[in-house]
Amino acid sequence: MPPPREQPQAPRQHRLPFWLWTGVAALAVLSLYLGWQAQRLHHDLAQIQTQSAAVQQERAELAKELADARQSAAILNDPASLQISLWPQQQKDAPPLRAYWHPRLGLVVAGAHVPALAPGHTLQVWLLGQAPDQRPISAGFLRPQLDGKFVLLLATPPGSRAGTRALAVTEEPAGGSPQPTSPPRWAGPLG
């Protein structure tokens, strides 16, 4: 008897088992979730870094304010500091200002209850030289606080005590001026 003939088999269909499809779907969902979490964490990290930079900036500003306050206190309390009274020149009822000039530590100009300035204006301190024809030298500028208080520390004044006969304070446009644009609001001699 002849050997039986093998019957051709139908091609086998390759079907993936259900559990494999379930695993692939779970991995896809997990990948999407992890990607979303990574983006959220990246965003949170960027916010934290921004906040950290702001806190560090604030800390540096506070450290500078503290150092300036300590230097100002040293100038105010040192007997070597020359006290200068700056009297109102225009508004006679305005309070006087005080300046303290230490030969090594610098110059402090302070005031309280200073009348409000025009919007966009600032107070500018000037050193007036010994010679009457010398141009005033700008020593610095600031805008008083809302309550009229201010303290201006000039650790390295632009001139010397010996070369200065008087101090003057004018009201100038914000950012100061190269030369006074208005008459002094306060002035006082050094000696």
Q: Domain extents for the chain?
A: 17-77, 82-189
Instruction: Pick the more confident residue, 153 or 17.
Output: 153
Distance (Å, whole) CA 26 – CA 32: 10
Strands of the 137-142 sheet, one edge to the other: 137-142, 121-129, 164-173, 186-189, 82-88, 97-102, 106-111, 150-154
- One-letter amino acid at 30 equals L
Q: How much is the pTM?
A: 0.72
Distance (Å, whole) CA 168 – CA 89: 10
pLDDT for residue 11? 62
Give percent of the chain above pLDDT 90: 66
CB 105 within 8 A of CB 74: yes
Q: Give me the chain's average pLDDT, please.
A: 90
Strand partners for 128 = 166
